[in-house]
Structure 1
Amino acid sequence: MKTPTSSTPYILLVDDNRDGLLVRRSLLEEVGYRVKMAINGEEGLKLFEAEKFDVVVTDYRMPQMDGAELIQKIRILDPQARVILLSGFVEPLGLTEQNTGADAVITKSSNEPAHLVRSVKRLVNRALRKPPASQKSAISRIQAIGR
């Protein structure tokens, strides 16, 4: 197991199934991430408001606040937040990135661990990339106008 440091990406896991949380935490810690768990959407939202996470991984079906509602509230707080939605019902419910607001939607299955690690890594790397030069120059122009 890799030893996490303060610069290690920090992942928030949200699921009402404690066993699922523990398995995913173990998997993500094994590949070197720091992980915090929340047992429902409300707790997840409070943690998101209080701490800085690199990626949020949430279940879809939870009591009181489902994953799509959690994602909507997270997007209000931070439109650039990186979020993965997990569900055993992706196909039957027609869950997509477009209709849930997630950056990735993963089906709970035997392939989930590999998909989860790959998606978390992709989103963490996306966060670490610097904006393209054209975007930097546009930001510079906007900042200059504001002076």
Structure 2
Amino acid sequence: MDDSKQILIVDDDPTQCEILAQLVGELGYQAYSSTDGDMALQVFKERNFDLVITDIKMPHMDGLTLLQKIRKLNNAVRVIVLTGYPSSETILKTIENDGYTYLVKPVKLQAMAALIEKAFSDPVDGE
């Protein structure tokens, strides 16, 4: 555990954000959440996040667009993508081609906890 690690959670479902933020806190990390891609991008610019967890389908700015913008700011940030559309080959191929780890919704908290811990144990480019 490292409470200096900061995780940005982005999902247009406030309940999902709250549940994931609680999990992140229980794992010993700092959680910041946003229900909007535009706001998430602003928050990302203000802080040095170690991990971004984002939903794909959101109004205004979808998760993949958000991640493209985040990658321009910090190419080494770790990413976990959430999708409620596991049958969409286009979405899954895009996620995999960009090297993102993904989890299908509804999220099982034990699986999410394992992915978060794995994200921090795996080396990142430049580390």
TM-score in terms of structure 2 length: 0.85
How far residue 93 of structure 1 moved from its aligned partner, in angstroms, is 4.7
Unaligned 5+ segments in structure 1 are: 132-147
Change (3 A) 1:20 1:43: same
Unaligned 5+ segments in structure 2 are: none
Q: Render the CA deviation track for 1:11-43: whole Å, top value 9, x for unaligned.
A: 100011101111111112112111001111111
2:94 maps to: 99
How far residue 47 of structure 1 moved from its aligned partner, in angstroms, is 0.8
Distance in 2 of aligned mates of 1:85 and 1:37 = 14
User: Is contact 1:13-1:57 (8 Å) kept?
Assistant: yes
How far residue 128 of structure 1 moved from its aligned partner, in angstroms, is 7.7
Q: Is 118-127 or 50-59 further displaced after alignment?
A: 118-127
Larger relative contact order (Cα-Cα within 8 Å, sequence gap ≥ 6)? 2
How far residue 90 of structure 1 moved from its aligned partner, in angstroms, is 2.2
Kindly indicate whether residue 46 of structure 2 is the aligned counterpart of residue 50 of structure 1. yes
Kindly indicate whether residue 114 of structure 2 is the aligned counterpart of residue 118 of structure 1. yes
Aligned pair partner of 2:31 in 23, 35, 47? 35
Distance in 1 of aligned mates of 2:63 and 2:108 = 17
Aligned residues: CA RMSD: 2.3
Kindly indicate whether residue 40 of structure 2 is the aligned counterpart of residue 63 of structure 1. no
Kindly indicate whether residue 84 of structure 2 is the aligned counterpart of residue 88 of structure 1. yes
Distance in 1 of aligned mates of 2:40 and 2:72 = 14
Percent identity between the two aligned chains: 28
Matched position secondary structure for 2:91: coil
Distance in 1 of aligned mates of 2:79 and 2:114 = 13
Q: Which has the larger radius of gyration?
A: 1
Matched position secondary structure for 2:122: helix
Higher helix share goes to which structure? Answer: 1
Matched position secondary structure for 1:90: coil
TM-score in terms of structure 1 length: 0.75
